[in-house]
Amino acid sequence: MYITVEELTDGIHAESLTAITRGDNSKATQAIEDAMAMVRSYICVRYDIEAEYAKTGAARDGMTVKLVRDIAIYYCYEGSSPVNMPETREKAYDDAIAFLKSVQAEKAAMPGLARLDGSKGSNYVKFGGNRKRRNKWL
């Protein structure tokens, strides 16, 4: 697994994590797996996320660890008591998803991850044209 249940305590107090998972580490493990799947679904087209998930310890990308951790903690709260979820957790989740969407749209980058195509730039092609002109006098 990319991050451990103990590493979730870098973003939440250990007693809070124990309270929301009711001491069941399998709930936290499932939340981590779901968070990894969420991050994978956003950036797997451009970045080699499987190679990143194979890394351990200090070799991991810090931004990816933070994204997985924030989303996993949100899922822990969502599974136990979504009504009592702190606003900071919701904001961290929303920020993580917004960042993943901007990475997906090539408005942001994950420099710690290897790109699949080996390039450094965008390979998107803009589709569309100019606004239609009105050539009549009204």
At residue 123, the pLDDT reads: 58
- With a pLDDT cut of 90, the percent of the chain lying above it is 36
Please say if the pLDDT value at position 127 is more than 80.
no
pLDDT band, residue 71 (cuts 50/70/90): very high
Please say if the pLDDT value at position 34 is more than 90.
yes
Each domain of the chain, given as residue ranges in start order, spans 6-104
DSSP secondary structure letters along 85-129: --HHHHHHHHHHHHHHHHHHTTSS--TTS-BSSS-SS--------
Gap between the Cα atoms of 21 and 35, Å rounded: 16
At residue 96, the pLDDT reads: 95
Give the total residue count for the chain: 138
